[in-house]
Amino acid sequence: MGRCPGCGEWNTLVEEQAPEPSARASRPGRRRGEKAPRPVPLAEVEASSMERVLTGSDELDRVLGGGLVPGSIVLIGGAPGIGKSTLMTSALASVAGAGRRVVYVSGEESAAQVRLRAERLGPDALSIPVLAETSLHQVLGSIAAERPEVCVVDSVQTLYSEDLTGAPGSVGQVREVAARLERFARERGCAVVLVGHVTKDGTLAGPRVLEHAVDCVLQFEGEPQRTYRTLRALKNRFGSTNEIGVFEMRSGGLTEVADPSERFLGEARPVAGSCVLCAMEGTRPLLVEVQALTAPSDVVPPRRIANGVDRNRLSLVLATLARNGGPSLGSSDVFVSVAGGVRIEEPGADLAVALALASAARGEPLARGSAPLACFGEVGLTGELRFVAHAERRLQEAARFGLEQVIVPARCLSDTAPSAQAAATAADSLGDALRIALDPPALTQAA
């Protein structure tokens, strides 16, 4: 077939080797004396708790769920130049520094190029054994002899198997490479990290099946022009997918940002169009500045640009704003972004987007004091403010940065310790929150 019946694309089908048909596989349970296996109660299954391999980076370890699991396979994706190779080289350097065996397979760069990078990362990085090779068979043979505990393959798209006809990076090749490396990982108890490319539209290149085959998919994102990078897990069989790790690219490689709130809030000022969001990323509260700008539009439909927040949620917020006493922005261009290049995925960001937009449309700052106004909460379709989890931790984080006013969904305060409520102002609905933020009663009276 020239055309794939699944996706409708032309010339995407790739020839693959069919496995040898074996008589035994095709006729199950036919042999005499051979019993069919029986299921075992889970309580009787032996599960040795494996000691994880720490990568020397708290941020990476946390996203992985506490370090690399021996015998597992991890896929890390990200745009070119984002720092995948740098992150993996420093991780290997630290694992090697702890006396474990490692191998860095480089299909993309020559050994000399890998060395040049390693020179910037410190002495441990220079002790990493590197294998610049693109033939899967050679790589498998070499790592079988080396018996590493952690092996990085950079990148999965550059290796190829001679058994298949497709070019390296094609669907069949990538799948074969991943499958063979997975078998190696499981059999030898080696943690294998595959580095993957990301296509223009931001998805991991190669077949989706790759994401099913691996235990953990990490996405490394950020803008190459900026220094901040975030690492998040899209799938993790050994941990949560809510955690993010924050890094900064410096001349000596990637450094961890231990206190991201401080970095992201550093430039927040109480000006029109700015609102601080108390977000949660996994188990960690994170303060970020949401910025909005509105301008009369000269195109139909007007522009809706969202950086760091979900575009669909922005549409929802715009619609509820118009209905609940906020500005109608139907003929304005709207830009919303999270300062610092972070992406916030939780619905608790809605209220901050709404307030930043309202403030931008009016041209007035939200806060009256020196500290910016903060908030969190999900906006429902009827304009109500909905409960979001971890109110207490968010409020504590805001208090740590001296934020004096935090607008909170009223429902969130019932299970919050009174000590954490000092800065909190409860609002039932979006309309309420807009009044509190833009028309404080004391000021209207004075006027």
CB of 121 to ligand TYD, least distance (A): 6
Under the criterion CB under 6 A, does residue 77 sit at the interface with ligand TYD?
A: no
Q: How many helices (H) and strands (E) does the chain have?
A: 13, 18
Q: Per the omega criterion (within 30 degrees of 0), is the bond before 301 cis?
A: yes
Q: Which residues of 372-405 are buried (b: 16+ CB within 10 A; e: fewer)?
A: bbbbbbbbbeebbbeebebbbbbbbbbbebebbb
CB of 254 to ligand TYD, least distance (A): 8
CB of 102 to ligand TYD, least distance (A): 17
Under the criterion CB under 5 A, does residue 106 sit at the interface with Mg ion?
A: no
**Interacting positions 252-271 with ligand TYD (CB under 6 A):** 252-253
What residue 78 binds from ligand TYD, Mg ion, none (CB within 5 to 8 A, per partner kind)?
A: ligand TYD
Q: Identify which range of 54-62, 84-92, 236-244, 381-389 contacts ligand TYD by CB under 6 A.
A: 84-92
**Tokens linked to 14:** 């790739």
**Residue 159 to residue 208: CA distance in whole angstroms:** 18
Residue 62 or 84: the one with the smaller Cβ distance to Mg ion is 84
Under the criterion CB under 6 A, does residue 341 sit at the interface with ligand TYD?
A: no
Nearest 10 degrees: CA dihedral of 411, 428, 378, 434? -150
CB of 86 to ligand TYD, least distance (A): 3
Three-class secondary structure of residue 398 per DSSP: helix
Three-class secondary structure of residue 192 per DSSP: strand
CB of 92 to Mg ion, least distance (A): 13
**Residue 447 to residue 443: CA distance in whole angstroms:** 6
Nearest 10 degrees: CA dihedral of 195, 109, 126, 83? -50
Under the criterion CB under 6 A, does residue 115 sit at the interface with ligand TYD?
A: no
Residue 106 or 274: the one with the smaller Cβ distance to ligand TYD is 106
Any idea what DSSP says for residue 312? H
Given 29, 80, 301, 418, the residue binding ligand TYD (CB under 6 A): 80
Under the criterion CB under 5 A, does residue 158 sit at the interface with Mg ion?
A: no
Under the criterion CB under 6 A, does residue 230 sit at the interface with ligand TYD?
A: no
Q: What is the enclosing helix (H) or strand (E) of 175?
A: helix 171-188
CB of 88 to ligand TYD, least distance (A): 8
At residue 232's C-alpha, the angle toward residues 230 and 238, to 5°, is 150
Q: Identify which range of 82-90, 171-179, 291-299, 391-399 contacts Mg ion by CB under 5 A.
A: 82-90
Among residues 268, 340, 330, 271, which one has the least CA distance to residue 307? Answer: 340
CB of 70 to ligand TYD, least distance (A): 25
Given 55, 72, 85, 332, the residue binding Mg ion (CB under 5 A): 85
Residue 114 or 412: the one with the smaller Cβ distance to Mg ion is 114
Task: Give residues with Cβ within 8 angstroms of 2, minimum separation 6.
Answer: 10, 11, 13
Under the criterion CB under 6 A, does residue 82 sit at the interface with ligand TYD?
A: yes
Under the criterion CB under 6 A, does residue 286 sit at the interface with ligand TYD?
A: no
Q: Which residues bind ligand TYD (CB under 6 A)?
A: 78, 80-86, 117, 120, 249, 251-253
List of residues contacting Mg ion (CB under 5 A): 85
